């Protein structure tokens, strides 16, 4: 059985050991995880020197420095290592470093802490292909609903379907979800279809009568007991993770006032509890939007971008 | 001399705070400062011409805020103003000194409390997450244990009540974590900075209400809006927080009327204040409870909410320079009154 080596860098011993114990005992996967713990930057560096880790999870504030230092060090000595930050702070406060160091995953330490989601993240980091598909994110899912979108005329119909799906599954919606859906559809419609010369085929706001079958957009709605989820998949695979972080930073720092794009990404990041971007370059982009039933889910949003 | 100092102290305090909280100057405090400084005595020679000019403006009711802000942002001016304040206590000041000192002390205490609370709540996150993780782990362990017991013990059903009992305790713990976590988010959110903008008051109110009306929970409520027909006022508020406050108040009205009540929302102006009244036809709030209900952790709703909603709303409004009060409505229900100082500028 394959074994992956994981390093958890966290100064809170309770959290550190619980995460370790969870991954060792309950992470269900066809591979095993060997977890090492470190409480400081110095210890983490020693561990990284001694062992070839596959995955590094690091807190930001550590007694002798910042987790960014650990991540930078890890990437230097082992460029293939997968990394994620694990923090209780909102990405807003450190988006600049996240962008500079190309960190595509930030896990939020929250109460309640969703271990199933944590498992999903770990698996996605190790196998980015597992990040695709809405059913991965649901436990005992209600029946899924699929749509193929190939014309702008269908948007209203899909919006209605979402509304009734939400209602049917007992979700009280403030409008955030619908807004995020429209943003994601707009992105998929206007940013994925390209002409032979590589230019964008449609401009934002164009009425599209009929998309090429190779450009059609797949939309899936799903729900389980604790959350509602939807995915929007285009056949472009054009999203660049670095530009996602670039747009997030611009919107967070308020430099975006005159920008014409990027606001949709930021809206989805802010409005939706879990905003996941999966990219298979030049093949497909899947946007997954998950809203927990429990509105109390911390307002700090994780960053989840998986590249195949 | 000591008496003079004591009289002037509250103003000195107000001005000390002015760099940070220029917006939260209540108009009466501003008036008070000005009144004090405009005494009919010649100003000493060391007073800068700029200050002199500003102080002696006869027709100005308030100091223009920018000017005041500019004054206090310069150390030289600041020290001049302090010295002036010590020299020119007024009778008006004397009358109001105690009251002002009290309210300033309270403000100061609140600011300090707010800072400490926000630090504590921030530090709470890791322990909270840790407890939550452990509860989750126990739940998982319990499930495994239950499975093992079912296959390896005679009459496992005898053990089931025991497991159920443990699960019940875990659920209770989860609920408490949930409450704490909710409290934490609320406190942290509200002590973070506000983004105040100059906006037309009723326009903001109307925008908020029109978005609430569409929400399913307010579907069966009747909302009556009566805008001040004669004029609209500019106020300087954080529109997003204001929307939360309004939502909170309407939601209270909804809960007080079982979701099918009537709410009257009206605005008027009074002494450079924009006043918004939100009145419902629920059972109302007894007058002796009015103060209590606006303090943290008080609630009349049984087993519902943390009781922070109203006190947080009150704090948010006060941080914007306004007030939130309860009074007896003309209908028998509760009537909440929000005021904000109006901003100078053309009325629309």
Q: What is the pLDDT of residues B3-15, one digit of tens each?
A: 444 444 444 444 4
What would the pLDDT profile of A210-219 be if each residue is shown by its tens digit? 888 888 999 9
B256: left (phi over 0), alpha (psi -120 to 50) or beta: alpha
What's residue B88's pLDDT? 46
Show the low-confidence residues of chain B (pLDDT under 70). Answer: 1-118, 186-195, 229-230, 292-293, 295-309, 331, 345-348
| Inter-chain touch A15–B126, beta carbons under 8 Å | yes
What's residue B153's pLDDT? 82
B-chain CB neighbours of A252 within 8 Å are: none
Residue of B nearest to A299 (CA): B185
Q: How confident is the model at residue A74 (pLDDT cuts 50, 70, 90)?
A: very high
A-chain CB neighbours of B126 within 8 Å are: 12, 15, 88, 109
Mean pLDDT of A12-21: 94
The gap from C-alpha B159 to its chain's centroid, in whole angstroms, comes to: 51
Take residue A32 and report the two structure tokens written for it: 């095993």
B-chain CB neighbours of A293 within 8 Å are: none
> Could you tell me if B237 and B203 are in contact, meaning their C-beta atoms sit under 8 angstroms apart?
no
> Could you tell me if B313 and B300 are in contact, meaning their C-beta atoms sit under 8 angstroms apart?
no
What's residue B85's pLDDT? 47
What's residue A214's pLDDT? 86
What's residue B344's pLDDT? 75
| Inter-chain touch A172–B217, beta carbons under 8 Å | yes
What's residue B26's pLDDT? 39
Name the residue among B127, B137, B215 with its Cβ closest to that of A18.
Answer: B137
Q: How many CB pairs under 8 A join A and B?
A: 67
What's residue A85's pLDDT? 95
> Could you tell me if B141 and A256 are in contact, meaning their C-beta atoms sit under 8 angstroms apart?
no
CA distance B181 to A112: 8
Cross-strand pairs, B341: B273
Q: What is the mean pLDDT of chain A?
A: 89
pLDDT > 70 fraction of chain A, expressed in percent and rounded: 95
| Inter-chain touch B130–A12, beta carbons under 8 Å | yes
What's residue A261's pLDDT? 67
Mean pLDDT of A140-145: 89
Q: From residue A89, give the alpha-carbon distance in Å to each of A18, A76, B11, B248.
A: 19, 25, 39, 26
What would the pLDDT profile of B250-296 be if each residue is shown by its tens digit? 888 888 888 888 888 888 888 788 899 999 888 887 777 777 667 65
Cβ-count burial A153-172 (b if 16+ within 10 Å, e if not): ebbeebeeebeebbeebebe
pTM, two decimals, is 0.64
CB contact, 8 Å: B207 with chain A?
no
Q: Looking at the predicted complex, does its ipTM rise above 0.90? A: no
């Amino acid at each position: 059985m394959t074994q992956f080596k994981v390093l958890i860098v966290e100064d809170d011993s309770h959290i550190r050991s619980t995460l370790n114990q969870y991954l060792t005992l309950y992470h269900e996967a066809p591979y095993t995880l060997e977890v090492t713990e470190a409480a400081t930057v110095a210890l983490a560096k020693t561990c990284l020197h001694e062992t070839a880790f596959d995955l590094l999870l690091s807190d930001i504030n550590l007694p002798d420095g910042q987790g960014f230092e650990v991540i930078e060090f890890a990437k230097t000595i082992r460029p293939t290592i997968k990394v994620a930050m694990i923090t209780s702070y909102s990405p807003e406060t450190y988006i600049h470093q996240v962008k500079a160091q190309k960190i595509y995953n930030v896990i939020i330490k929250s109460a309640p802490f969703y271990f199933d989601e944590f498992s999903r993240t770990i698996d996605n980091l190790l196998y980015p292909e597992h990040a695709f598909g809405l059913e991965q994110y649901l436990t005992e899912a209600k029946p899924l609903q699929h749509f193929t979108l190939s014309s702008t005329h269908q948007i209203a119909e899909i919006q209605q379907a979402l509304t009734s799906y939400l209602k049917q599954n007992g979700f009280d919606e403030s409008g955030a979800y619908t807004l995020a859906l429209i943003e994601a559809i707009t992105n998929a419609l206007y940013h994925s279809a390209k002409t032979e010369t590589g230019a964008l085929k449609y401009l934002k706001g164009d009425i599209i009568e009929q998309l090429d079958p190779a450009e059609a957009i797949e939309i899936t709605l799903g729900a389980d007991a604790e959350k509602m989820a939807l995915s929007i998949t285009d056949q472009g695979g054009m999203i660049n993770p670095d530009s996602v972080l670039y747009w997030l930073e611009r919107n967070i720092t308020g430099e975006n006032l005159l920008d014409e794009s990027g606001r949709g990404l930021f809206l989805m990041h802010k409005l939706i509890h879990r905003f996941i971007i999966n990219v298979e370059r030049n093949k497909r982009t899947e946007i997954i939007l998950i809203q927990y039933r429990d509105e109390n889910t911390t307002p700090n949003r994780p960053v989840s971008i998986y590249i195949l | 001399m000591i008496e003079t100092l004591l009289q002037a102290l509250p103003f000195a305090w107000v001005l000390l705070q002015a760099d940070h909280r220029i917006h939260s100057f209540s108009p009466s405090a501003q008036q008070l400062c000005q009144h004090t400084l405009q005494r009919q005595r010649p100003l000493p020679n060391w007073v800068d011409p700029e200050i002199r000019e500003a102080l002696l403006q006869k027709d100005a009711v308030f100091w223009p805020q920018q000017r005041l802000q500019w004054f206090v942002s310069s150390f030289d001016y600041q020290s001049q103003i302090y010295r002036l304040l010590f020299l020119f206590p007024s009778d008006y000041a004397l009358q109001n000194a105690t009251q002002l000192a009290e309210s300033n002390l309270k403000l100061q205490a609140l600011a300090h409390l707010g800072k400490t609370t926000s630090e504590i709540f921030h530090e709470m996150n890791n322990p909270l997450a840790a407890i939550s993780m452990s509860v989750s782990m126990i739940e998982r362990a319990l499930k495994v244990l239950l499975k093992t017991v079912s296959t390896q013990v005679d009459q496992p059903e005898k053990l089931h009540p025991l497991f159920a009992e443990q699960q019940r305790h875990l659920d209770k713990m989860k609920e408490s974590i949930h409450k704490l976590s909710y409290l934490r988010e609320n406190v942290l959110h509200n002590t973070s900075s506000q983004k105040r903008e100059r906006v037309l008051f009723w326009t903001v109110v109307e925008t908020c209400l029109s978005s609430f009306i569409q929400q399913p929970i307010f579907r069966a409520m009747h909302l009556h809006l009566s805008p001040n027909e004669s004029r609209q006022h500019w106020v300087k508020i954080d529109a997003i927080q204001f929307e939360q406050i309004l939502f909170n108040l309407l939601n209270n009205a909804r809960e007080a009327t079982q979701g099918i009540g009537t709410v009257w929302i009206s605005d008027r102006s009074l002494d450079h204040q924009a006043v918004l009244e939100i009145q419902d036809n629920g059972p109302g709030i007894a007058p002796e409870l009015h103060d209590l209900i606006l303090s943290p952790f008080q609630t009349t709703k049984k087993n519902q909410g943390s009781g922070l909603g109203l006190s947080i709303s009150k704090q948010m409004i006060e941080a914007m320079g306004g007030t939130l009060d309860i009074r007896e409505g003309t209908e028998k229900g509760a009537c909440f009154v929000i005021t904000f100082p109006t901003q100078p500028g053309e009325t629309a």
